[in-house]
Amino acid sequence: MKFLDQAKIYVRSGDGGAGCLSFRREKFIEFGGPDGGDGGRGGDVVIECVDGLNTLIDYRYQQHFKAKKGGFGMGANRSGARGDDIVLRVPAGTEVLDEDGDTVLADMTDVGQKVRLLKGGNGGFGNAHFKTSTNQAPRRANPGLPGEERWIWLRLKLIADAGLVGLPNAGKSTFLAATTAAKPKVADYPFTTLHPGLGVVRVDGREFVLADIPGLIEGAHEGVGLGDRFLAHVERCRVLLHLVDGTSEHAGKTYKSVRAELDAYGHGLEDKPEIVALSKVDTLDPETLKLQLARLQRAAKKKPLALSAHSGQGVREALRALAYVINEGREEEQTKEVAEPWRP
């Protein structure tokens, strides 16, 4: 299945049904009076977060979604049927944005969550509704109100606890494959990863979800390379693991180039907790390793980890550091929920 994390679709709620203009016609009843029923309400456009989906591929080949119209009112005071709703099913982590791409209409983060995006039009009144003591035979019925319509963006942001960032070929996919059951493509050329990947990490009896995104290069925020669009998938992460290739020419400059892209992207990534690690250390001699670690420490202003996903060196220490930050974040959320007063 192809991974699709963004789609633009057109949605429209149903029109309301027209009211009926009718009079009672029955033997031996001389003045039957008006008996036109009201029209039914049009269907709503509802978005629902469901389990079992991890891509927006369903919205790749169909872009127009319309709810059913309400039924017309009928004689004998019969109301029209209500139009059926149309339900858009999306995976957890999907954001619903207005056509401008900035205004958030809904954020679907929990399975079972439902949001009504567009309300169906109300049905029109039949002539029985307008009967009064001074107008006992109204010849008036209302048409139904039209439904609402708009173009919206569906944007999937993977829900993960930790995210991997770095330049292409920094060892992110190798790290994901070594620490989870995921099987990302691993090869010795840039941009091996074209789509984000997820894996579940187990360390010291704890579990967390790790996300891998395509590599960033200088100018990614301007669309260079694969751009920075995939950074949306690590916006929800509690911590970032920044991998810097130990075989690069200058580890400090490499780190700063990726940090510049994160800062340019914004959306909270610039302030997110970060663990810095020098990767592929099994390929370095002791002198080069010491030099690269010193360069990286000066650039990051913190002591970096040294690891090799291929040999396993330093991998468990990195996972424990990630798990510690994630656990702290979860505890803070639980404390905040308990501290907040209950409101009816």
pLDDT tens readout for residues 318-340: 899 888 888 887 777 667 655 55
Least confident of 26-40, 92-106, 125-139, 230-244: 230-244
pLDDT class for 220, splitting at 50, 70, 90?
low
Most confident of 40-49, 103-112, 324-333, 335-344: 40-49
Q: Is the pLDDT of residue 127 over 90?
A: yes
Residue ranges of the annotated binding site are 166-173, 191-195, 212-215, 279-282, 308-310
Regarding whether 45 and 93 lie in a shared domain, the answer is yes
Identify whether 278 is part of a domain: yes
Q: Are residues 108 and 203 in the same domain?
A: no
Q: Residue 27 above 90 pLDDT? A: no
Give 250-263 as a DSSP string.
-HHHHHHHHHHHHH
- The most confident of 23-32, 141-150, 244-253, by mean pLDDT: 141-150
Which residue, 126, 156, 186, sits at the end of a domain? Answer: 156
Q: pLDDT tens-digit profile of 244-255?
A: 888 888 888 888
Neighbours of 241 (CB within 10 A): 28
151 and 275, same domain (yes or no): no
40 burial class (0-12, 13-18, 19+ CB within 10 angstroms)? buried
Contacts of residues 266-274 at CB distance under 8 Å and 24 or more positions apart, as own/partner, are 267/231, 267/232, 267/235, 268/235, 269/231, 269/234, 269/235, 269/240, 272/237, 272/238, 272/239, 272/240, 273/238, 273/239, 273/240, 273/325, 274/239, 274/240, 274/241, 274/242, 274/300
**Rounded CA gap, 304 and 255, in Å?**
11
What are the C-alpha distances in Å from 254 to residues 175, 240, 246, 311? 18, 16, 10, 23
Domain span at residue 281 reads 162-339
CA 55 to chain centre: 10
My answer on whether 111 and 193 are in the same domain is: no
Q: Strand pairing partners for 206?
A: 203
Annotated binding site for Mg(2+): 173, 193
Note whether residue 344 is domain-resident.
Answer: no
Q: CA–CA separation, 117 vs 94, rounded Å?
A: 14
Q: Are residues 188 and 324 in the same domain?
A: yes
- Residue at a domain's end among 105, 136, 156: 156
Report residue 272's pLDDT band, with 50, 70 and 90 as the boundaries: confident
Single out the residue in 123, 156, 189 at which a domain terminates: 156
Same domain, 223 and 185: yes
Annotated binding site for GTP: 166-173, 191-195, 212-215, 279-282, 308-310
Split into its structural domains, the chain has a count of 2
What confidence score (pLDDT) does residue 337 get?
56
- CATH code of 245's domain: 3.40.50.300
Lowest mean pLDDT among 195-199, 251-255, 287-291: 195-199
Shared-domain flag, residues 104 and 199 = no
| pTM, rounded to two decimals | 0.74
What is the CATH classification number for the domain harbouring 106?
2.70.210.12
* Residue 224 included in any domain: yes
Whether residues 152 and 168 fall in one domain:
no
Strands (E), 22-148: 45-49, 64-66, 86-90, 94-98, 104-108, 114-118
Report yes or no: 107 and 114 within 8 Å, Cβ to Cβ: no
Please report the pLDDT score of residue 3 as a whole number.
67
User: Is residue 149 located within the same domain as residue 170?
Assistant: no
Same domain, 125 and 230: no
pLDDT for the residue 93: 87
Amino acid 190: pLDDT = 60
Examine residue 75 and state whether it is found in any structural domain, yes or no: yes
Q: Does 178 lie in the same domain as 137?
A: no
Same domain (yes/no): 193, 44: no
20 and 70 in contact (C-beta within 8 Å)?
no
Task: Please give, one letter per residue, the 3-state secondary structure of 133-167.
Answer: CCCCCCCCCCCCCCCCEEEEEEEECCCCCEEEECC
Within-domain flag for 319: yes
